[in-house]
Amino acid sequence: MRLGIFGGSFDPIHHGHLILARAAREQLGLDQVLLIPANRSPHKPGAKSATGHDRLSMLQLAIEGESGLMTSDLELQRPPPSYTLDTLRRLRDQHPEAELVLLIGADNVEKFDTWHEPAAIQQLATLAVLERASGAPAHPWPVVRRLVEISSTDLRDRVASGRSIRYLTPDRVCDYIRQHGLYRNE
């Protein structure tokens, strides 16, 4: 089995994430893509965010009925910060026969050498890069490219200023954000 690992803050999940997850599954021949919300990224220590529970709930709503995409609360179960290496080690224990394919955003390529034990990460998983905007730096890994210019930051800003996020994220996620009062200015 080839298992894609797609981690991130997913704050909130949007169609850009979903399009890339599906494209990665198809282009890389992945049996499943596991979307894993980070507890707290070590690269975003002071960022405001929805709770882990809210982000996981939005992910579950976004992929409901979508074959080949699954969620995991693996990183939410551990105390922060979330290190990719710890997640991969746990997944290796859970899926000893699987080939793990770590999907990283193109924005992380230049910083990959600053991650916690990048060499150990590459021993546990094959890397593939998700590009959703043009102009990614050079790297040696396979690329899944779908030019989708949607960002979670923009969605949070839109909600905070009272603008619509419809068509940028699944309707069920829009409803969840509204019902739970997420991302509003206090």
Q: Please enumerate in sequence order all residues whose Cβ is within 8 A of that of 38, keeping only pairs 6 or more positions apart, or say none.
A: 7, 8, 9, 75, 82
Report the C-alpha gap between 3 and 43 in whole angstroms: 25
**pLDDT tens by residue, the chain, 186 residues:** 999 999 999 999 999 999 999 999 999 999 999 999 998 655 555 555 799 999 999 999 999 999 999 999 999 999 888 899 999 999 999 999 999 999 998 888 889 999 999 999 999 999 999 987 666 667 778 788 788 889 999 999 999 999 999 999 999 999 999 999 999 886
Report the C-alpha gap between 19 and 132 in whole angstroms: 9
Report the C-alpha gap between 94 and 21 in whole angstroms: 21
The domain defined by 2-150 folds into: Rossmann fold (3.40.50)
Paired with 145 in beta bridges are 131
Paired with 2 in beta bridges are 99
Domain ranges of the chain: 2-150
